[in-house]
């Protein structure tokens, strides 16, 4: 499963369950092909990441807490585009 599909399923689940756990503006990190020459690491909102082409699998998606530690925020800013 790629990140776009995962995000679509997460948002659909949230819409159905209404748990208020996350929404399209939730910060996240998307990773693909880690360890390969063509690896990608991106940070943004779920909506922003869903619009990006992360390339071939394997993909990983990490959802962030509402408040980030200063080091986490620094890495988020570094990988945001």
Q: Which residue ranges of the chain lie beneath pLDDT 50?
A: none
Would 67 be classed as within a structural domain? yes
Task: Give 57: exposed, middle or buried? Use CB within 10 Å, 0-12, 13-18, 19+.
Answer: exposed
Would 18 be classed as within a structural domain? no
What domain range includes position 45? 3-13+23-79
pTM: 0.89
pLDDT of residue 72: 96
Domain count for the chain, please give it: 1
pLDDT of residue 73: 97
pLDDT of residue 70: 97
pLDDT of residue 28: 97
Would 39 be classed as within a structural domain? yes
Q: What H or E segment, with its residue span, contains residue 40?
A: strand 40-45
Would 75 be classed as within a structural domain? yes
What CATH number does the domain containing 71 carry? 3.30.950.10
pLDDT digits (tens, 9 = 90+) for 42-56: 999 999 999 999 999
Would 49 be classed as within a structural domain? yes
């Amino acid at each position: 499963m790629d990140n776009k599909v995962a995000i679509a399923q997460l948002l659909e689940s949230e819409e159905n369950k209404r748990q208020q756990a996350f929404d399209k503006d939730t910060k996240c990190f998307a990773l693909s092909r880690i360890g390969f020459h063509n690896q990608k690491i991106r940070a943004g909102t779920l909506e922003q990441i869903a619009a990006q082409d992360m390339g071939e699998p394997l993909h990983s998606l990490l959802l962030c807490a509402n408040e980030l530690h200063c080091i986490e925020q620094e890495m988020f800013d570094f990988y945001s585009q």
